[in-house]
Chains A and B, each alone.
Chain A
Amino acid sequence: MDAIIVVERLTKVYDLGEVRVDALRGIDLAIGAGEFVAIMGASGSGKSTFMNILGCLDRPTNGRYLLEGQDVSQMSSDRLADVRNKKIGFVFQSFNLLARTTALENVELPLLYDGSKYRERRIRALEALKAVGLEERGSHYPSQLSGGQQQRVAIARALINQPAIILADEPTGNLDSQTSVEIMGLLQMLNAARSLTIVLVTHEADIAQYARRVIVFKDGLVVEDRAVERRKAASAASVGVGTPLGQETQV
């Protein structure tokens, strides 16, 4: 399996004047293309810092981070913006959809920053909405959608640029358990059907069970890195997407 993410001796130090916080103290990890990884750990374990660096929202203090073979650890902020735009899809706990903006326009958002033309944006946004089973809801506003539907719109937005990885930060944190299962099923399906690499942060052990690999952080270090035994799988029906697994057309 090709490694899509390679981090070597990654450290992050927050210098808060009098206190120095060692958020990451030397992380070595490789994540392969098509993996589904859950990152766990208590708050303060460094998992959020790690996710921010993976998402190119923050730079490491030391060490290297190769994304698809490219060293992004020392890039300028403009180049990082391009990397985020083209290679990374974000899914957040609180959805982060723009209010008073339709689902379709929310999905389009990343395309506003890569110079795509209006028609192309519309077509690709519709396809992405279809991939999450919401093609009928394109003209709805976030306030007219349920929590699960809002998170699907957010996932469609993450998918639209055909990113190398999806970073999902507690994607089920604001959802009830049944909707959580739906969303995890959708992520599993996308992982399986498109060989999409997914890195998921969660503090819930049963959510982590939907992934294939679990990495546990503690005090800025990786303390556990194991494959998931007895992996949970959500049924196609509960995913709520009409198309059977594996038959999804590439968007």
Chain B
Amino acid sequence: MIRFFMTVRIAHRALGRNKLRSALTVLGVIIGVGAVIAMVAIGQGAQASIRSKIASLGATSLIVLPGSTTQGGVRYGSGGRATLRVGDVKAIEKECPAIALATPIVRTVSQVVYSNQNWATTVQGTGTEFPLIREWPLLSGGWFTQQDIDAAGKVAVLGTTVADMLFGSMDPVGQVIQIKNMPFKVAGLLAPKGQSTQGQDQDDIIFIPYSTAQKKIIGISHIYTILLSATSREALGEAIDQVTALLRQRHRLQPGQENDFSIRPLADLAAAEEESSRIMTVLLGSIASISLLVGGIGIMNIMLVSVTERTREIGLRIAVGAKRRDILWQFLIEAMVLSLVGGVVGIALGVTGSRVISAVAEWPSLISWNVIALAFLFSGAVGIFFGFYPARKAAQLEPIQALRYE
């Protein structure tokens, strides 16, 4: 251990003798490590913002759409048939273990009126599970209850856009609005959700109990879609299988008959986006790693020069009793000091750099400890890898020739 510290001290002193040269060599590593950190931070920031978008859609959400219908050779698109019923929702909730929550959805567009204001918006009938599945909190008031659904009660929960249009800055909770000339009591106001990945304003909406929507607004007995949430992101595939099997059974479909419904994850598109940003992160990181590699070659170069310059010193050290491994360690530690100092300064530069870039370009950036630790270890490894050859060259010098070296 004493020997180790001594070797570190010798290395430190040797580097101190050539300050400018050491600094320039370190600069190569600084730029390499800094670039890796900054690039990965920006890439991960993009990933994180997409991931939060996925979370806003509900990362575990699934949607069941009714199948298409064929009439006289004309095929209507998805959702053309009235195949889904409230009974399907209850059955799914009860019999599919991979499903956590399920709720029916029906919707229409209607003019809504409050005092002298009016606004056309989507009126969506749904159940009590809806805010849980979409992870959508309320700003004030509450969601409607199971009793409201059972009694087809006239209660509504407003999105912020609708509330702004009808009420301005006033709190809408407890007020009465008109939908299709029927009075609805406002039970709650939702927190803003922003745009969907497709650019729709998700807050331009009113929620009412699905039973009220079916019976009093639209006049149907089926439902349009079923919104589901799987128990976890990993269970999505299993959930699709279970719901498919159950619905085929309930709809009495024979083997070989096409499904009269379709199921897809809500966050499909965003997941693809996340994948592409992950690839981008890897790409940026690898390009930056090349500059770290170049920094490492710089270390090797300067260490080779140093070994040649100090041939006599090496010969002398061997003559006065240094073992080959002492010489090996001396040069290896010199290389490692260079690369680790470069690593530490590079980390600082990378962190600052990614902050500046994200502030100026308004890009999200995310610095994780993993990346910092990895960059530090990687820079140490660069030192060992590129320092080993020069160090071994030094250790293998013959003292007699080394002492005579001019």
Q: How far is the CA of A149 from the CA of B374 in the complex (A)?
A: 51
**Which residue among A81, A84, A96, A100 has the maximum number of chain B CB atoms within 10 Å of its CB?**
A81
- Contacts A92-B403, A96-B312 given; indicate if A115 touches B2 (C-beta within 8 A): yes
Task: Name the residue of chain B whose CB is nearest to the CB of A95.
Answer: B316
Chain B residues whose CB sits within 8 angstroms of the CB of A84 once the complex forms: 318-321
Which listed segment binds A: B57-65, B167-175, B322-330? Answer: B322-330
**Assuming the A-B contacts A81-B318, A96-B316, A157-B320, are A112 and B17 also in contact, with contact meaning beta carbons closer than 8 angstroms in the complex?**
no
Stretch from A37-45, A51-59, A217-225 forming part of the interface with B = A51-59
Q: Which of A58, A82, A98 has the most CB of B within 10 A?
A: A98
Q: Mark B395-406, 1 if CB is under 8 A from A, else 0.
A: 000011001000
Q: Report B101 CB to chain A, min CB distance, Å.
A: 70
* Most chain A beta-carbon contacts within 10 A, residue among B313, B318, B319, B403: B319
Cα–Cα distance between A84 and B17 once the two chains are bound (Å): 28
- List B contacts of A109 (CB < 8 A): 316-317, 320
Chain A nearest CB from B306 CB (Å) reads 13
B323 contact set on A, CB distance < 8 A: 77-78, 81, 113
User: Does chain B have a CB within 8 A of A110?
Assistant: yes
Query: Does B48 reach chain A (CB closer than 8 Å)?
Result: no
Give the residues in chain A near B17, CB-CB below 8 Å: 100
User: What's the least CB distance linking B368 to chain A, in Å?
Assistant: 42
The residue on A at minimum CB distance from B316 is A96
A112 and B316 within 8 A (CB): no
* Contact in complex: B316, A113 (CB < 8 Å): no
- Which residues of B lie under 8 Å from residue A20 when comparing CB positions? none
Contact between B321 and A96 (Cβ–Cβ < 8 Å)?
A: no
Say yes or no: is A65 at the interface (Cβ < 8 Å to chain B): no
Q: How far is B404's CA from A57's CA once the two chains are assembled, in angstroms?
A: 13
Total interface residues in chain A, CB < 8 Å: 26
Q: B320 — which chain A residues lie within 8 A by C-beta?
A: 84-85, 90, 109-110, 113, 157
Given contacts A82-B321, A109-B317, contact A52 B312 (CB under 8 A): no
A248 at the binding interface (Cβ < 8 Å): no
Which chain B residues lie closer than 8 Å to A58 at the CB level? 400
Interface hub of B312, B315, B403 (most chain A Cβ within 10 A): B403
CB distance from A189 to the nearest CB of B (A): 23
Q: Which of A94-120 contact B (CB under 8 A)?
A: 96, 98, 100-101, 109-110, 112-115, 117
Does B6 reach chain A (CB closer than 8 Å)? yes
Do the beta carbons of B321 and A52 come within 8 Å of each other?
no
Give the CA-CA distance A124 to B390 in the complex, in Å.
33
B345 interface residue (CB < 8 Å to A): no
Q: Which of B351-406 contact A (CB under 8 A)?
A: 399-400, 403
Tell whether, in the assembled complex, residue A98 and residue B313 are in contact, meaning their CB atoms are under 8 Å apart: yes
A77, B13: Cα distance in complex, Å: 27
A194 at the interface (CB under 8 A from B): no
Contact of A113 with B326 at beta-carbon distance under 8 Å, contacts A58-B400, A96-B312, A96-B403 already known: yes
Decide yes or no whether B86 CB sits under 8 A from chain A. no
Interface of B is mostly: helix
The one of B316, B319, B321, B324 in contact with A114, judged by C-beta atoms closer than 8 angstroms, is B321
A110 x B321 contact (CB < 8 A): yes
Indicate whether B3 reaches chain A with its CB closer than 8 angstroms.
yes
- Any B CB within 8 A of the CB of A86: yes
Docked-complex contact B321 and A85, CB < 8 angstroms: yes
A60 to chain B, nearest CB (A): 14
* A100 to B6 CA separation, bound complex (whole angstroms): 18
B400→A57 contact, CB < 8 A? yes
Q: Which residues of B contact A117 (CB under 8 A)?
A: 2
Complex Cα spacing A52 to B402, Å? 13
Are B403 and A112 neighbours in the complex by a CB distance under 8 Å? no
Q: Which residue of A lies closest to B13 (CB)?
A: A101
Q: How distant is the Cα of A82 from the Cα of B321 in the complex, in angstroms?
A: 6
Check if B10 is an interface residue, CB within 8 A of chain A: yes
Q: Which of B13, B312, B322 contacts A113 (CB 8 A)?
A: B322
Q: Which of A77, A78, A113, A161 has the most CB of B within 10 A?
A: A113
Shortest CB–CB separation between residue B5 and chain A, in angstroms?
A: 10
Tell me how far the C-beta of B401 lies from the nearest C-beta in chain A, rounded to whole angstroms. 10
Which B residues are CB-close (under 8 A) to A157? 320
> 4 smallest A-B Cβ distances: which pairs?
A85-B321, A110-B320, A113-B321, A81-B323
Chain A residues with CB under 8 Å of chain B are 52, 55, 57-58, 77-78, 81-82, 84-86, 90, 92, 96, 98, 100-101, 109-110, 112-115, 117, 157, 161
Extra inter-chain contacts (12) besides given A85-B320, A157-B320, CB under 8 Å: A77-B323, A81-B318, A84-B321, A86-B321, A96-B312, A96-B316, A96-B403, A101-B13, A110-B320, A112-B322, A113-B317, A113-B321
A selection of 13 A-B contacts at a CB cut-off of 8 Å is: A52-B400, A57-B319, A78-B323, A81-B318, A84-B319, A84-B321, A86-B321, A98-B313, A109-B320, A110-B320, A110-B321, A113-B323, A161-B321
